[in-house]
Chains A and B, each alone.
Chain A
């Protein structure tokens, strides 16, 4: 198993975690914004923690708007 493969598996796992938030945002009607945050992480413009924080915030806002 080479370096690229190991690196990709690590990033794929992180992507899987962020995609859980994206799925919930899509269900809440905020998919477009969630995909934008995911894309920022995917392209390396923000880190994983920042992406997760922003997605959690997005879901909290969606929940508050429904309440």
Chain B
């Protein structure tokens, strides 16, 4: 019986790693073939360099990643509240917006290479996967 198809949110960290590392690229190709991989409007609030943006867009398109809209106003306010309440680094607001977007979009898990996101994923009951953990 085939494994259940999951909805997985791609954090920018894995997208960048896939642009630079063969192992991460192969993992992402497998993951997006087996599961429904999604990105959100938070990705386009990322400070991409123009060249990286083009490469990332091409990669996501090639992988068949869906881009879903989220309410950026609501996410930035909630991320800011969490940073203040939990005493996390103010630099982590963008990462939190990605985690909150994954929750809002009903994702089963988040694909990332980042310890902060791994901890948050656990708190929100999301799977945390990458080329080190392997494709679920």
CB pair B90–A14 under 8 Å, yes or no, is: no
Name the interface size band of chain A: 20 to 34
A44 contacts B50, CB within 8 Å?
A: yes
User: Do A8 and B20 form a contact, CB below 8 Å, given A23-B93, A26-B77?
Assistant: no
B76 interface contact, C-beta 8 A: yes
Interface residues of A in 1-43 (CB under 8 A from B): 2-5, 7-8, 11-17, 19-20, 22-24, 26-27, 31, 35, 38, 41-42
Docked pose: A11 CA to B94 CA in angstroms: 11
Whole-angstrom distance between the alpha carbons of A7 and B48 in the complex?
9
* Prevailing SS type, chain A contact patch: helix
Known: A19-B76, A23-B80. A5 touches B93 (CB 8 A): no
With CB as the reference atom, state the residue of chain A lying closest to B72.
Answer: A35
**How far apart sit A4 and B97, CA to CA, in the bound complex (Å)?**
21
Q: A4-B19, A26-B76 are in contact. Are A16 and B46 (CB under 8 A)?
A: no
Q: Check A24–B91 contact: CB distance below 8 A.
A: no
Which B residues lie within 8 Å of A42 (CB)?
Answer: 45-48
Among candidates B49, B76, B83, B91, residue contacting A13 with C-beta atoms closer than 8 Å: B91
